[in-house]
Structure 1
Amino acid sequence: MEQTWRWFGPRDTVSLSDARQAGATGIVTALHYIPPGEVWPIDTILERQRTINSAGLTWSVVESVNVSEDIKQRGKNWQQHIDNYIATLRNLASCGIRTVCYNFMPVLDWLRTDLEWELPDGSISMRFEADAIAAFDLFILRRPGAENDWSDAQQRSAHTRLQQMSEAEHERLIRTVVAGLPGTTEIYTLDYVRNAIASYADIGREGLRANLGEFLHAVCPAAEEFGVRLCIHPDDPPRSLLGLPRIASTMEDLQFLLDQAPEAANGITFCSGSLGARPDNDLVAMIRQVAKRIRFVHLRSTKREPGNDAFYEAPHLAGDVDIVALMKELVREERRRAASGDDAQIPFRCDHGNKILTDIGSPSVPGYPAVGRLRGLAELRGVLTAVEALT
């Protein structure tokens, strides 16, 4: 399996040299500054690729070519954005970059309620708490109809949670939820989020599913022609939030999207942390069912809190996810591919990482510190080495 590392570009405080010293050989990155819906020019792709190559690394995976809101909503610019998406895939393929991660989460990407959650050992994690997001939804965002999405008991708990917050915690929750997408400099306002959510009121879960299907019908044949492998990232967290539908959270969801386009280009980013945050997801069974369509893997482990609708990012081998069992399935699939002449190597990265040691107090993209990910990749490399020797 190819060991990769996410890098957010030249402004990332974690350098390409850091990634190489951590043991990664491949880089996962994107041209984050190009807005969704626009074409990535070949010369710009090549410039980024040269930067990565000059550090002794390979640009292995694009994460992400973001899908525009016009595509997700089938808005007025849908066809132009589809054409531009296909043009970007063509340009990436011409540069030899053929694994492209994307997601179909509306408005917001992954969502947490605390980016600086201190664990008992003093390390810093990210955390999601339903009471906090309910407090935000009901009493800060004041989303119309929010009360219909939360039970009376949840609303009482949310009110209590709000009352417990200091003014600084209140403001920090707002910044955390509306912080935008990782790797971008955009910060969303409450009005923006409120209006963006409202634009999905008439779309709903089935409408968003249908729009994903239309996206795949339009893009996958071209991706197949270019030799590009698209791989959708699951919802994070895998549940509806703020009135927004989520459609890549369960095995049934993943099977639905695979059924929309038969091409090998229609694949999955298997994210153990995202899917593992949902207790009814059997990750080993899921990975077995979709193994042939896995193009990229995020390995991390979340820890659900007993008696509380909450989870936090745990050290990679210490959460609810059985990383060893998943690694066994991935090694088996990679060997099957090698024997059949299929795409043999599966790229993976240690997804997220806790702030430890010199990470604490140092700036980094949330979830992507240097030393915490160094530890995570080292742990995963140890598991991989053992599994390959014993399987």
Structure 2
Amino acid sequence: MRMVFRWFGEGNDTVSLAHIRQIPGVEGIVWALHDVPAGEEWPMDKIMEVKQAADAAGLHIQVVESVNIHEDIKLGLPSRDVYIENYKKTIVKLAQVGVKVICYNFMPIFDWLRTDMFKEMSDGSTALFFEKARITNIDPFDLVRQISENTELTMPGWEPERLQHLTKLFEAYKGVTEEHLWENARYFLNEIIPVAEANGIKMAIHPDDPPFSIFGLPRIITSQDNLRRYLALHDSPSNGLTLCSGSLGANPANDIVSMIHEFADRIPFTHIRNVKVYENGDFIETSHRTQDGSVDIEGIVQAYHQEGFTGFCRPDHGRHIFDEQCRPGYGLYDRALGIMYLWGLWDAYSKQASQQPADRKVSQA
């Protein structure tokens, strides 16, 4: 397991590269060019700025999250080919600077959704919260406005150029079904996966967050069956998964341990985090500790260990603790604590595995 940490760039993150470098076992950053609109080719000079900053801090840039997909690709419009060509050119450039994994998603309009960015918990910390009834009754435009007012930093998936055209986007998705989305995803994969293969890059799709329809929009990366179907759209080692335990864990029916065992050779990147899911469908993001949420983090790490996982891992969203002022879900302290919990589990399973042969010899004697 290779530990990495998400970083949003100079001037766009409250966490510095120097702080990231001090977290035990972290070897690289998970990054993106957040100021480049979806669909545009990434400029090499901006890519090099990130690489140079990371190099100076002793961190690598082998994981990108995300190269966002233009809505015209998801909608299957004739204009998609222009944006796909830009995507291919970006893949080639990223390979040139050592990128190994590109995370992305195929969610219409919103690539994640919460109703409260700073929901207070019983211990005084705050966390990202999803209130199901509120989603059912709220106007999406009101929700966008409220979320945008919570931070001056860019919010991935809530980019200004996207939010300025919500009315047009919702109109465009009228009549678009899940089967349409599946077909448009197939077209996209058939175009980009050969380029990724040729450049030694693994594409890793992120599950829908949350893993069910919101505002009537179709969503397809939601379950084990759908992950299996997506990988079969273009059967290649370069067509892989960013298996996110928090996104998938918002639906208690999802068995993430089973997914790890089935798809282990197609998971180049994993997000490990916990959520507490309530009977009414609400959920809140908790510490990474298994007992604090509804997701079997212990079982997840054990499954990765059993499969000999050598891909990249990052702690995902964290609570806002110790009065830290930070981007919602992306402070330093709780994610660093999460990393140490994950390493503790990993080290314990490693020690347990190393002792098993000796134990068997003793029992045989």
Q: Which residue number corresponds to residue 295 of structure 2?
A: 321
| 1:272 partner amino acid | S
CA distance in 2 between partners of 1:194 and 1:109 (Å): 17
Q: Secondary structure at the match of 1:378?
A: helix
Specify every segment of 5 or more residues in structure 1 that has no aligned partner in the other structure, as ranges: 142-170, 336-344
Once the two structures are TM-superposed, the CA of residue 43 in structure 1 deviates from its matched residue by 2.9
Q: Which residue number corresponds to residue 60 of structure 1?
A: 62
CA deviations over 1:173-227 (Å, ceiling 9, x no partner): 74128988428762765x7323312211122111011101111111101111111
Q: Secondary structure at the match of 1:96?
A: coil
Once the two structures are TM-superposed, the CA of residue 78 in structure 1 deviates from its matched residue by 0.9
Q: Which residue number corresponds to residue 106 of structure 2?
A: 104
- TM-score when normalising by structure 2: 0.90
Q: Which residue number corresponds to residue 15 of structure 1?
A: 16
Q: Which residue number corresponds to residue 238 of structure 2?
A: 265
CA distance in 1 between partners of 2:62 and 2:312 (Å): 8
- Aligned pairs (5 A) from 1:170-319: 174-176=145-147, 181-182=155-156, 186=160, 192-306=165-279, 308-317=280-289, 318-319=292-293
Q: 2:120 aligns with which of 118, 121, 126?
A: 118
1:379 correspondence with 2:350: no
Once the two structures are TM-superposed, the CA of residue 383 in structure 1 deviates from its matched residue by 1.3
Once the two structures are TM-superposed, the CA of residue 95 in structure 1 deviates from its matched residue by 1.2
Change over 3 Å in CA distance of 1:92–1:172 after alignment to 2: closer
| 1:256 partner amino acid | R
Q: Which residue number corresponds to residue 363 of structure 2?
A: none
Change over 3 Å in CA distance of 1:269–1:119 after alignment to 2: same
Once the two structures are TM-superposed, the CA of residue 42 in structure 1 deviates from its matched residue by 2.6
CA deviations over 1:327-370 (Å, ceiling 9, x no partner): 111122236xxxxxxxxx211000000011131xx1x2211011
Q: Which residue number corresponds to residue 351 of structure 2?
A: 389
| 1:8 partner amino acid | F
**Is the contact made by 1:111 and 1:236 (CA closer than 8 Å) also made in structure 2?**
yes
Q: Point out 4+ residue stretches in structure 1 off by more than 6 angstroms.
A: 177-180
**Is the contact made by 1:32 and 1:184 (CA closer than 8 Å) also made in structure 2?**
no
Q: 2:307 aligns with which of 333, 346, 349?
A: 333
CA distance in 1 between partners of 2:331 and 2:264 (Å): 30
- TM-score when normalising by structure 1: 0.84
| 1:233 partner amino acid | H
Once the two structures are TM-superposed, the CA of residue 80 in structure 1 deviates from its matched residue by 1.1
Once the two structures are TM-superposed, the CA of residue 259 in structure 1 deviates from its matched residue by 0.4
Total equivalences in the alignment: 346
Of all paired residues, the percent bearing the same amino acid is: 40
Specify every segment of 5 or more residues in structure 2 that has no aligned partner in the other structure, as ranges: 354-365
**Is the contact made by 1:71 and 1:81 (CA closer than 8 Å) also made in structure 2?**
yes
